[in-house]
Structure 1
Amino acid sequence: MENKSSKYIKYAIGEIILVAIGILIALQVNNWNENRQLRKLEKASITALFSEFNSNKSAMESCKYLISDMRLYGDSIRMQLGPQKSNLEIEQVNHWFGEIGFTRRCEISTDVLNSGNINIISNPEIRRKISKWSSVLKDLEREENEWAQQFSSTITSYLNKWIQWDDVDYNTDSRDDPRYFKSRFSIDPRVVLQQVEFSNIMNNHYWRIKRTEERTISLLQQTEEVIELMQEELDKQ
């Protein structure tokens, strides 16, 4: 009886050990599957972000060029400011006003970024760079908003007294469009270049454009760094 009991105990212990081993193996397989699914989801998220950031890079490169162009036109106007009447042709002045006669907002997409899958990215450097990128984007958006507000509240309202927007529109790539035509009023836009108040307005406007340009360049640099990190991560997977 003692011999049978001893065998039974050994058999029961063996069964328990086998069950425990089976449970551990099942847990291991389950963890492996979960990690595998998590890695697949992480790769999909990085791939989507990679595509979005590349699209944003193209948009920012275009914005950078256009804003820089506007700054150069603004600088050309500032060089003509002074008490003496400018010798520029009226059409040239109207063209310059047309080039600076709007504000520029970069169309930056954050749909994938705001989807909530950033936390599954295991690379902490990518997460840190994206966080910094988001902060720089907010700086740019704030600068764009202030630029637009200043333009509509100050520049446009002031120029309404000195120039004809019909002539400006007509001289800004609209000559072949029948909706645009020269004004019937005889206004010399060069007179505004002799006004001290406008000189101060253009000074503020110029530096507003310059700051927006700098924010755009900074965001573009951050974008390129994030793209490089994500490319390295995708190459490893």
Structure 2
Amino acid sequence: MVKFFRHIRQRLLTENKINKYLLYAIGEIILVVIGILIALWINNLNTIKQQKEVEKIYLLSLKGEFEQNYDLLNGTIKNNEQLINHLESLSMLFDKNVYDTITETSVNKYLFNAISPTVEFNPSMGVLTEIISSGNLKNIENFELRQYLASFGNSIEKLKQHQTDGAKFYDKAVEHYLKDGNLKKTIRIMGREVKGNSKFESINNKNLFNSVEFENHIFLYTRISKTKSALHYLPLKNDIEKIIQIIESELKN
């Protein structure tokens, strides 16, 4: 093909047909430019296709991660609601009218349910962290989704701080319980196996509810558990639902 075009150029020059030669040269240049543009277009299509494939992999991975976090968060919300109910039941024991009518067995039941491990939401963020830290968030085409993903980490950091503050009040309440109450007695009354006797068996855990300090710790722990749900858990649930919804829509396109 190259020889063919060269032969035409040489024949035109030999025949002294300068005008036709110039037109031919221009036409040849145009053909070369068109060829380059087509090559660039094809290359661009391949690049876009590759980016789409990478984005799809990210979206599928994010979908799995956020669905897992959604189930985890629902469980956390449920556990936090149960904890709040237990704490509010415990707080009623500071009411003299209730305190005078309740048995020590019931008191230990309320203590056992309320003074339990703190409720925390610790989501899996491996996929999201990798995408953001590697600078690949730009590969997510949907602008709204990029915004949600970029702000999710900040929301979790704020939640962690709130959970840390709540754990402090929980620790204070437990510290008071361990100082002036009898944990071994509570465990035994709740039907758990406890070996050996204790010379402190005579301690009545009802006496904990004569302490204003213990009441304050329980009150603050209840308040912070409620605000965790209102300020963090429920908004996060809405964000995760929106993220999953957008991802599913993008995957259908």
Q: What TM-score, normalized by structure 2, do the two folds share?
A: 0.83
Amino acid at match of 1:110: M
Cα deviation digits, residues 193-226 of structure 1 (max 9, x gap):
1222222221111101111222212211211111
Q: What is the CA distance between 1:148 and its match in structure 2? A: 1.3
Shift of 1:72: 0.2
How large is the Cα RMSD of the aligned pairs?
Answer: 2.1
In the alignment, is residue 113 of structure 1 matched against residue 128 of structure 2? yes
Q: Deviations over 1:149-170 (max 9, x none)?
A: 2322x21221122222223344
Q: What residue is the counterpart of 2:9 in the other structure?
A: none
- For 1:208 and 1:96, locate their aligned partners in 2 and report how far apart those are by CA, in whole Å: 19
- Compute the displacement of 1:41 (Å): 1.0
Tell me which moved more, 136-145 or 5-14: 5-14
How many Å apart are 1:181 and its aligned residue? 4.4
Larger Rg: 2
- 1:192 aligns to what? 208
Q: Distance in 2 between matches of 1:47 and 1:27?
A: 30
Which secondary structure does the structure 2 equivalent of 1:160 belong to?
A: helix
Which structure 1 residue ranges, 5 or more long, are not aligned?
none
Q: Residue deviations 1:10-59, cap 9 Å, x none?
A: 33222222211111000000011101111111121111111111100000
Of the three residues 184, 188, 208, the one matched with 1:166 is 184
Q: Which residue of 2 aligns with 1:137?
A: 156
Contact 2:62 2:127 in 1 (8 A): yes
Q: Unpaired segments of 5 or more residues in structure 2?
A: 1-13
User: Is the Cα contact below 8 Å between 1:167 and 1:182 reproduced in 2?
Assistant: no
The aligned counterpart of 2:69 is 56
| Count, aligned residues | 231
Structure 1 residues 140 and 44, CA, compared in 2 at 3 Å: closer, same or farther? Answer: same
Equivalent residues of 2:90, 2:114 under 8 A apart: no
Quickly say closer, same or farther: Cα 1:190–1:75, change in 2 above 3 A: same
Answering whether residue 70 of structure 2 is matched by residue 43 of structure 1, we say no
Provide the residue aligned with 1:95 in structure 2.
Answer: 109
Moved more, 76-85 or 1-10: 1-10
Inter-CA distance 51–5: structure 2 relative to 1 (3 Å threshold):
same
Q: Which residue of 1 aligns with 2:7?
A: none
How far residue 115 of structure 1 moved from its aligned partner, in angstroms, is 1.1
The answer (yes or no) to whether the contact 1:74–1:206 under 8 Å persists in 2 is: yes
> Match for 1:123: what amino acid?
N
Which of residues 226, 238, 242 is equivalent to 1:210?
A: 226
Counterpart in 2 of 1:80?
A: 93
- The runs of at least 4 aligned residues of structure 1 exceeding 6 Å deviation read none
User: 2:163, 2:94 → 1: CA distance?
Assistant: 26
Tell me, yes or no, if the aligned pair for 1:170 and 1:181 is still in contact at 8 Å: no
Equivalents in 2 of 1:92, 1:131: separation in Å?
A: 48
2:169/2:217 contact within 8 Å kept = no
Residue 123 of structure 1 corresponds to which residue in structure 2?
Answer: 142
Higher RCO (C-alpha 8 Å, min separation 6): 1
Instruction: Say which SS state the counterpart of residue 161 (structure 1) adopts.
Output: helix
* Deviation of 1:182 (Å): 7.4
- The C-alpha deviation readout for 1:42-88, integer Å capped at 9, x for no partner, is 12111111111110000000000111101000000111113464433
Shift of 1:183: 5.7
Q: 1:70 aligns with which of 61, 70, 83?
A: 83
Greater fraction helix: 2
Kept in 2, the 8 Å contact 1:170–1:182? The answer is no
| Cα gap change, 1:182 to 1:151, in 2 (>3 Å) | farther
Q: Which SS does the other structure have where 2:126 is aligned? A: coil
CA distance in 2, matches of 1:170, 1:55: 37
- Name the TM-score, length of structure 1 as normaliser: 0.88
